[in-house]
């Protein structure tokens, strides 16, 4: 699989994960914690899929298979990193809504 395809996989999984997390936060804000919890679970699964793709790439490079530089891959890594950070922050915000 080429670097472009790998990049698009990471972007897609991480981006979809982020969208579900935002939707989960909106559900929590409206008091629907069951829906919020379900969306966060789905988001985590997508985030894990993105992370698994990234891990495969890291393992391949550690084994000597160097990847070409790609601005698309930089964007993919940025999207993944932001989604990982958002997971922590959004979960904390949902917990605050739940504690109200």
- Binding residues are 78
- Binding residues for Mg(2+) are 78
Which of 40, 53, 39 has the alpha carbon at shortest distance from 11?
Answer: 53
Catalytic residue set: 75
Direct distance between the N- and C-terminal alpha carbons of the chain, in angstroms, rounded to an integer: 48
CA–CA gap between residue 3 and residue 68 (Å, rounded)? 8
């Amino acid at each position: 699989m080429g670097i472009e395809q790998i990049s698009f996989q990471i972007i897609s999984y991480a981006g979809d994960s982020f969208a579900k997390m935002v939707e989960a936060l909106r559900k929590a804000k409206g008091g629907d914690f069951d829906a919020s919890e379900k969306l966060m679970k789905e988001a985590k699964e997508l985030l894990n899929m993105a992370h698994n793709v990234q891990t495969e790439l890291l393992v391949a490079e550690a084994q000597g298979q160097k990847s070409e530089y790609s601005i698309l891959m930089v964007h993919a890594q940025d999207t993944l990193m932001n989604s990982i950070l958002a997971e922590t922050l959004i979960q904390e915000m949902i917990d605050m809504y739940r504690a109200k």
